[in-house]
Amino acid sequence: MYESNLRLNIKATGLRTYPDASVYCGAVVRDEEDASGETAINPIVLFEVLSKTTEAYDRGEKALNYRQIESLRAYILVSQREASVEMFERQSDGPWVLREAHGKEAVLTIAAISVNLPLADIYDRIDFSDAQQAEEPSISTVDRFSR
């Protein structure tokens, strides 16, 4: 697993970006166009932590680009406002399916890497009570997606 210091080149679209975290299985394939060797092209799973300033981009244009990566099996959005994670998972026949996990007691199963990820681990030591009181009301996760 790599933190946000490994750049990703999406060959199909030309977007170069730094995912918040990325998982590679086997050898990391480096982008031949990058002489520094700091750019990879074959992630299996990508994570983005949503913020007020990046959420629209992470859900929209960046997600469209990520879905063009042949090796990618899952794209995971992690909320900062509540214990809530959304995973877009590529099915073996091609389509992407949304799976959600809500609450610290929930467990997200990432089949592509055979991992069960408890949300309690993601949100360890996070207290949402102060943050939620300071935030403006927001629409529900389901309302933000067209299925």
Report yes or no: 42 and 29 within 8 Å, Cβ to Cβ: yes
| Residue 29: domain span | 2-144
Per-residue confidence (pLDDT) for residue 131, from 0 to 100: 53
Mean pLDDT along residues 24-52:
93
Query: Is residue 2's pLDDT more than 90?
Result: no
Q: Rounded to an integer, what distance in angstroms lies between the CA atom of residue 104 and that of residue 118?
A: 7
Q: In what order do the strands lie in the sheet with 84-90?
A: 2-3, 21-23, 45-49, 74-78, 84-90, 96-102
CATH of the domain at 81: 3.90.1570.10
* pLDDT exceeds 90 at position 147: no
Three-class SS of residue 114?
coil
Q: What is the DSSP letter of 28?
A: P
pTM of the model: 0.84
Using the predicted structure, report yes or no on whether residue 136 has a pLDDT greater than 50: no
Domain total for the chain?
A: 1
User: CA dist 117 to 36, 74, 80, 114, 147, Å?
Assistant: 33, 13, 17, 10, 25
Residues 6+ apart with CB under 8 A from 147: 98
pLDDT at 13: 96
Closest CA to 86 of 16, 147, 5: 147
